[in-house]
Structure 1
Amino acid sequence: MAKIVMCETLELYNILNQCRGVPRLAEINYLCLIDANEAQDYYRSHIITAKNAKMDSEGTFLLPELVEVDSMQHVVVYDNNTSSLQEQGRATSCAQVFAKASLNPVKILRGGFQRFSAQYPFLRTEKILNTIMELESLKIYPVEIIAGLLYMGDEKQSMDSNLLKDLKISAIVSISESNTLEFIKEIHTLLITPVADSVRSDLYSSFERICNFVSSHINMGSRVLIVSRQGRSRASAVAIAFLIHYLKYTLKEAWTHMLKCKPIMRPNTGFLQQLSNWELHTLGTKTTDFGLLLVGHTRTTSSRRRSEGILVRCPNHFNCNAQAASGGDTKIPIPVHRLSSKQTPDWNRVKTLSRRLVPEPKLCVEVSLTISRQYLSTSRTSSASFTTREVTFHIPIAR
C-alpha cells in the first residue's frame, strides 16, 4: 500500500505546468487527478484534467476505468477543503482506495478545490473530456518558485499578456540576448540582463543587481517572473542565486527546491561554478560540491527517462539508425510494436552485432512524446497513428 501525503497547492500547480516539447498532461501515465467531490459539484467546476471519483452502492470509492493507477507518476486526490490527513473526509476515503493500487505516494491536495481555485482560478474548468490534441495545446504557465511571489518561465510566456494578467505579474527579469520584451516596458517593470547561454558567460557579476531588484518587488508583495529563452539554464541559475540570497538556502537546498519545481531545469556548468562562488559570497562558506549536483542530476534524469519510456538507450554495438549507416539508400520496413517495460530487451544478454547492415530489424520501438512510460498494450499499430513529433529507434537484435 502506497503512502498518503499532503500536497500543497503550489506543488499541484507545478505538476500541471510541466512541459517537455508538449505539456506533460498529454502523457497517458503522468498524472491521475481525482475530484472526490459530489458529482454535481464536479460538473459545476473542477481542476483541469480531473476525473470525478465514482462510488459503488455501498458508498465505497472505485478506481477509474481505463486508468492504470499503478503506473501513474503522480496520483492526486482532492475534495472541497480537506486540510490534513487527520480529517476523515471524502478525499481521505478516496485516497485510501487509490493507495492500495498505486506504486507512488497518493497526494491529498491541502485546502482542496476551494483553496486551489481561489489561488489559480484560470486552472478550473467545466470540461469533462480532453482529446490528446487538446492536451498538447494546453496553455502552460511559468512554474512557481516561491508561492505567490516568484515565477520562472520562457520568453514566449513572458510575451503572453493574458498569462501575465492571470498570474498578476508586476515585474519581469529577462536573462536573454533578444529584445523581444521592449514593448511591455510601459506595462511591467522590466530588468533586462543580456547574457548568452554559454559556459564562458559571466552571470555572476549580475547576481547582486538581479537579486536586489527581485527582493525590492517581493518585499512589496509584487509578483516577479524570471525568464530566459527556454527557461532552463539562465533563468534557473538566476532563480537559484535568488534563493541563496533571499532565503539563505545552500546551493544544494536551492538546487533541490528548483528540481521539485521544474525537473528539467539545468544551468550549464559555467553557471554552476558561478553559483558555487555566489554561495561562498552570500553565506560565507561553500557547503556544496556542484560536481555532485551534476552527477546526481544526470543519473536521476537518465533513470526517469528510462522508467517513463521517453528514451531508449542503445549500447554502442547497436545500429540505431540503419538507414543512415547504409548511406540513406536502404528503405527499411518499420513494424511498430508498443512495448511494456517488461517486454524491452535485456541489453546484457544480447550479443554484439557485426558492422554489416541488418536489412530487417527484429525489433523496432517507436517512442512518442505522449506515450506513457509503461504502456501495457501489445497490439500492433501503424506509424500513421502517431504525430509527427515522434521518434523511431531501429534496434536490430542479434540472431
Structure 2
Amino acid sequence: MKGCWEQLMHLSNDLSEMGVVLSRVNNSCRAATREPVNTSQTVNSICDREVNSTDSDHSSIIPIQNKAVCEPVELLVPALPVAARVERGYVTPQQVYNLLSAEAGQPALFDPFYILILDCRSAESYKDSHLVTARAAVTVIHPVLGCLVSCIELQKYSIILLYAEEGCSPVGSLRARVDSPDLQRCFFQLSHLGMDPVILLGGFSAFHTLYPFLCTPRMVLLEPERHTLTIYPSEILEEALYQGSAAQACDYRVIKNLHITHVVNATANSPEAFPNTLCYLTLSLTDDGQQNLVEALPLASRFINSALMAVPAGRVLVHCSTGRSRSSALTLAFLMEHRRWSLLHALRWLKERRACTAPNVNFLHQLLTYEELLFGSKLTSLNDIRR
C-alpha cells in the first residue's frame, strides 16, 4: 500500500486510457499530495479523529471525473474467516441478536410465528427481565401437564429458542442436566415432538451482558405489540461493525445502545442525524447499474478500519436506505481488504449475519474487480456469488 503515489506518477499516462479502474486512496497518497480527492459535488467529511491519518485535511467521496489507479505495492495474501466453534444445538448471543434484528421486507420479529423464545428460569427471574418476546417456558412445556401447545402450532415457528440463567455445557450432558434441568426437560420434550430447538449459549446472563437493551420485564407477544419494538442493525463483527438502514442510523436509541461512533452513509439523500457527536463518511451513491464505486470502496474501507483501530476502538454503522445493496458492497470491500477474505468468503460471512444482504449485479462486478486488485488474481467467480 505504501509508496503508491510514486507509482502513480509513472503510470498515470498509461492508466488514463483504461476503462473502469480502482483508485487506492490511502494515507501515503494523501500525505504526499496534501490535496483533497477530486470531486464535483458538495460532500461531507471524514472526522479528523481518524487514526492512521497523516494529515489534517478531510476526505470525501462522490463519483470522480478523472480516473487514476494507485495500485498496492504488495498484494494481499488471502485468509479464511475464523468463527467461534459452537456445540451442536447451541447458538451464540450474537447469533440471537442478529435473529432478533433480521429483516426481509419488514422486520422478522414483527411476525408472531417467526421465533418462539422460551425462558426456562424461575418465574421471579422472568418477571424481572427476559429476552424481548420471550415467554415463560411453563406456558408451553409444563413440568406436570407436559406440552400445552399443540404440535401444529409449534410447527408454525421458524425458530424455537430456549435459555436458562447460564450454561454452556453440551446439551444432554450430566453437567447440563444439573445446571439447567428445566431447560433440558423442555429441550428433550420438544425434540420428542419433532421440533428442533436451539439453546442460547451462556444463557440469559451472557446475552444481557452484551445486549441489555433487548431485555425487558414487559411481555411482548401479540403482533401490534411487536410493531412497537426497536429493530437494530445487524452485527457483522462483534461489538465493532454494524450494517443497517437509514432509519436505524437516525434512531438515537440505536446509536446510543450500540455505542456507535462512526457512520458510513451510502445514500444520496439521507441526512447526517448526529453530526455533532458522530463521525461521518457520507457517500452520494445510487443503487443502480450505472453507479461507479471506483473511490467509494477504498475510502469506505479505510474509514471503517481507521475507526476500528483507533484507541479507544470505535464502532461503525454502515447504512444505505434499507441496508441491502450499497451498504453491503462497502462492508464487503472492508472485509476483503482488512480481513483479507475473498469476495466469496466475505459474502458468506455477511449473509450469515444479515440474511437480506443483496448487492446489485453492477456492484458485484466491481467487487470482483476490487478483489483482483487486492489479491492479484480472481479468487471468486460471478456464478459463485449469484447462487
Partner of 2:9: none
AA paired with 1:159? C
* Equivalent in 218, 225, 237 of residue 146 of structure 1: 237
Alignment size in residue pairs = 291
For residue 192 of structure 1, the aligned residue among 279, 282, 285 is 282
SS at match of 1:127: coil
Q: What are the equivalent positions in structure 2 for 1:293-312 lying under 5 Å apart?
A: 293-294=385-386, 296=387
Shift in Å at residue 214 of structure 1?
Answer: 0.6
Matched residue type, 2:162 = V
| Distance change >3 Å, CA 132–CA 99, structure 1 → 2 | same
- Of 168, 171, 178, the match for 1:83: 168
> SS where residue 266 of structure 1 aligns?
coil
Identify, as 1 or 2, the structure richer in strand: 1
Q: Tell me, in whole angstroms, the C-alpha distance in 1 between the residues paired with 2:261 and 2:98.
A: 20
The residue aligned with 1:100 is: 192
CA shift digits 1:85-140 (9 cap, x unpaired): 1441323443222222345x422111111011111111111112432111123211
Tell me how far apart the structure 1 counterparts of residues 147 and 377 of structure 2 sit (CA, whole Å).
Answer: 51
Comparing 111-120 with 64-73, greater Cα deviation is found at 64-73
Q: Is the 8 A contact 2:112 2:223 kept in 1?
A: no
- 2:275 & 2:202 partners in 1: Cα distance? 37
Q: TM-score, normalised by structure 1?
A: 0.68
Q: What are the residue-to-residue correspondences of 1:321-332 with 2, within 5 Å?
A: none
Aligned with 2:280: secondary structure? strand
2:104 corresponds, among 13, 17, 20, to 20
Moved more, 44-53 or 26-35: 26-35
Mapping of residues 21-40 of structure 1, within 5 Å? 21-40=105-124
Instruction: Indicate the residue corresponding to 1:266 in structure 2.
Output: 358
Contact preservation (8 Å) 2:307, 2:315? yes
Q: What percent of counterpart residues are identical? A: 26
One-letter code aligned to 1:18 = A
The CA distance in 2 between the partners of 1:58 and 1:255, in whole Å, is 42
How far is the alpha carbon of 1:230 from its aligned partner?
1.3
Cα pair distance change 1:99/1:286, threshold 3 Å: farther
The offset of 1:142, in angstroms, is 0.6
Counterpart code for 2:213 = F
| Among 128, 145, 156, the residue aligned to 1:44 | 128
**Any stretches of 5+ residues in structure 2 without a counterpart?**
1-86
C-alpha distance 96-286 of structure 1, shift in aligned 2 (>3 A): farther
The range that moved more, 86-95 or 76-85, is: 86-95
How do 1:279-358 and structure 2 match up within 5 A? 279-294=371-386, 296=387
Aligned to 2:256: 165
Query: Is the contact made by 1:152 and 1:226 (CA closer than 8 Å) also made in structure 2?
Result: yes
Partners of 1:92 and 1:108 within 8 A in 2: no
Secondary structure at 1:285's aligned position in 2?
coil
1:157–1:163 CA contact under 8 A, matched in 2: yes
Check whether the contact 2:142–2:148 (CA below 8 A) recurs between aligned residues.
Answer: no
Q: Which segments of 5 or more consecutive residues in structure 1 lack a partner in the other structure?
A: 297-399
User: TM-score, normalising length from structure 2?
Assistant: 0.70
> Which residue pairs with 1:354 in the alignment?
none
Q: Residue in 1 aligned with 2:330?
A: 238
8 A Cα contact 2:140 2:148, kept in partner: no
- List per-residue Cα deviations over 1:370-391 (Å, max 9, x = no partner): xxxxxxxxxxxxxxxxxxxxxx
Letter in 2 for 1:29: F
CA distance in 2, matches of 1:190, 1:226: 10
- The answer (yes or no) to whether the contact 1:5–1:106 under 8 Å persists in 2 is yes
Cα 1:83–1:180 shift into 2, 3 Å: same
Superposed displacement of residue 179, structure 1 = 4.8
Write the distance in 2 (CA, Å) between the matches of 1:126 and 1:34: 14
Determine the C-alpha separation between the residues in 1 that align with 2:241 and 2:169.
Answer: 26
Q: Whose RCO is larger (CA < 8 A, sep 6+)?
A: 2
Give the CA RMSD over aligned residues: 2.4
Between 1:41-50 and 1:202-211, the stretch displaced more is 202-211
Aligned 8 A contact 2:114 2:158 in 1:
yes
What SS does the corresponding residue of 1:211 show, helix, strand or coil?
helix
- Are the aligned partners of 1:218 and 1:224 in contact in 2 as well (CA < 8 Å)? yes
Which residue is 2:59 aligned to?
A: none
2:64 alignment counterpart: none
